[in-house]
Amino acid sequence: MSTPAAPAQLRDQRDQRLGTTSRAAADAAETALWRLVSQIGSPEDALDQACAADPRWAWPQLMRAGQRLLHADGRVDDGVLAALAAAARGIDDAPPREQRHLVALQALVEGRCALACQIWDDLLLEHPHDALALLWAQAWDLRRGELPPLQTRPAEVLPEWSPEDPLQPHLLGLYAFGLQENQRDAQAEDVARRALAREPQVPRAVLAVAHVMESQGRFDDGTAWLRQHQAGWADDSALAAHLWWHMGLFRLEALDLPGVHRLIDAHLSGPTLVGDADHRDAVALLWRLHLLGEDVGARLVQLLAAWPADEGEAGLCAFHDLHVLLALLGADELVRAERWVARVAARAMQAEDARRSNHAVTREVALPVMRALLALARGDAAAACSALRASRPHWPRLGGSRLQRDLLELTLIAAAARAPLQPLHRALLNARRLARAPSPLLRRLEGP
């Protein structure tokens, strides 16, 4: 008697082969994928269902590991290792596409973000419908300050996608954000509005237009835009805190400082802050207030109590390290701040750290910036200006958006005013006047 043929592996909604024969597992993984790409809702329960329906399927475990790594800026915890170990046990049965995702995530565990992005880019050439390869490559390039791929990568695959696919509007949102980061504001706004016309709840499209309006000085329009779409992002989106941060920036441009404080209390403090990204947004907004002379020390002390600086993780992510330092300095914790920078420097001196993508950025950009901030906190504003000016051309390598890095530009302006280095202060403000629309905040920076 012949042996019955093994059940055929299934394909997803985009005709990509899956490493499972379980329809229940495949459906649950599709639900998790939508939540990951849309950033609406948590994928965890759907991933649990997929794993329960097919415990040997590697893909749900890879999705879980990738999400955890992204959420923690590449810092590796037991959950990541457990998910990757579970994926490895079933990887021999997986199709090549899923196997290559495992290799990419293993590169991330080693701190080799550039290699992971290269693997995903190569994968997208063969599988333009691999939404996670696109999503994760975009996210990690943003963290590395690699801006051109944020525009070109989505453009290379989006024509392959059907407008009827429920993921397509969210990928348009990714594309719109990449266009904006590459200073193609008009096209970014057009793409984002098209995404929202197809699907009214696309938080990334809302985010892209908020960036456009801020960069163009349309601050009142930006506030109205966020309020218009608030129902689609404020309640169940991973971008909620970040979009509240944008609302805070619009209020800051209007110099509505009481309004900024109220917004922080309501939306960027305590239990409203879920992960590292939320805490960094809170720090960034509080630091901007600190530069204006607002007393935010008590708020930052409270924030650090809930988000303690883990010195064992110092030096793993330059963007994260910088925000921890800002929180410590704003809380008047100079000794702890100096110790934090020393731990970052110590990791950067370790030979085994050299293969990590963050290594060169930390040594060449982050540490000079952080030492400048320490000098400013000690009262040596002139030294801070010198170091910040020297590192300024390289700030994009720290990662984050142009608007997030504007925090350093504001710090340099404040340091020049304190030094005082009047010619430098005047030059910085001249450049800002040409780049941005007039606002009460800009007039405040100009001084009496």
pLDDT tens-digit profile of 292-319? 999 999 999 999 999 988 888 899 999 9
Q: Which of 193, 215, 231 is the last residue of a domain?
A: 231
**Contact present, 297 and 330 (Cβ < 8 Å):** yes
Task: Please list the residues that pair with 400 across neighbouring strands.
Answer: none
Q: Are residues 19 and 132 in the same domain?
A: yes
Q: Are residues 81 and 203 in the same domain?
A: no
What digits encode the pLDDT tens for the residues 401-429? 999 999 999 999 999 999 999 999 999 99
End-to-end alpha-carbon separation of the chain, Å? 94
Least confident of 60-69, 246-255, 326-335, 435-444: 435-444
Per-residue exposure over 136-154, b if at least 16 CB sit within 10 Å of its own CB, e if not: bbbbbbbbbbbbebbbebb
What pLDDT is stored for residue 3 in this prediction? 54
* CB contact set of 355 (below 8 Å; sequence gap of 6+): 110, 111, 112
- Count structural domains, the chain: 3
Q: Are residues 125 and 189 in the same domain?
A: no
Instruction: Assess whether pLDDT exceeds 60 at residue 32.
Output: yes
Report which of 279, 276, 212, 222 is spatially closest to residue 249, judged by C-alpha positions.
Answer: 222
* Locus of tokens 């419908």: 129
The tokens describing 245, both together, are 């941060």
What pLDDT is stored for residue 6 in this prediction? 59
pLDDT band at 107 (very low <50, low <70, confident <90, very high): very high
Q: Are residues 77 and 192 in the same domain?
A: no
* Locus of tokens 């920036």: 249
What pLDDT is stored for residue 436 in this prediction? 87
Instruction: Assess whether pLDDT exceeds 60 at residue 322.
Output: yes
- In-domain check, residue 120: yes
- DSSP-derived 3-state class of residue 11: strand
* CB contact set of 81 (below 8 Å; sequence gap of 6+): 109
CA angle 326, 80, 75 (to 5 degrees): 20
What pLDDT is stored for residue 1 in this prediction? 47
Q: Are residues 112 and 222 in the same domain?
A: no
- In-domain check, residue 19: yes
- In-domain check, residue 43: yes
Q: Are residues 95 and 18 in the same domain?
A: yes
Q: In whole angstroms, how far apart are CA 178 and each of 79, 121, 157, 365? A: 30, 16, 14, 23
In the 8-state DSSP scheme, what is residue 312?
G
Q: Are residues 191 and 139 in the same domain?
A: no
- In-domain check, residue 422: yes
Q: Are residues 384 and 405 in the same domain?
A: yes
Q: Are residues 12 and 140 in the same domain?
A: yes
Instruction: Assess whether pLDDT exceeds 60 at residue 440.
Output: yes
Give the domain CATH number at 104. Answer: 1.25.40
154-161 mean pLDDT: 98
- In-domain check, residue 331: no
Instruction: Assess whether pLDDT exceeds 90 at residue 125.
Output: yes
- In-domain check, residue 71: yes
What average pLDDT does the structure give for the chain? 95
Q: Are residues 86 and 217 in the same domain?
A: no
Q: Are residues 129 and 20 in the same domain?
A: yes
Instruction: Assess whether pLDDT exceeds 60 at residue 257.
Output: yes
- In-domain check, residue 196: yes
Rounded Cα–Cα distance for residues 270 and 258 (Å): 19
Q: Which domain holds residue 204?
A: 156-231
- In-domain check, residue 317: no
Least confident of 45-49, 151-155, 231-235, 319-323: 231-235
Q: Are residues 78 and 172 in the same domain?
A: no
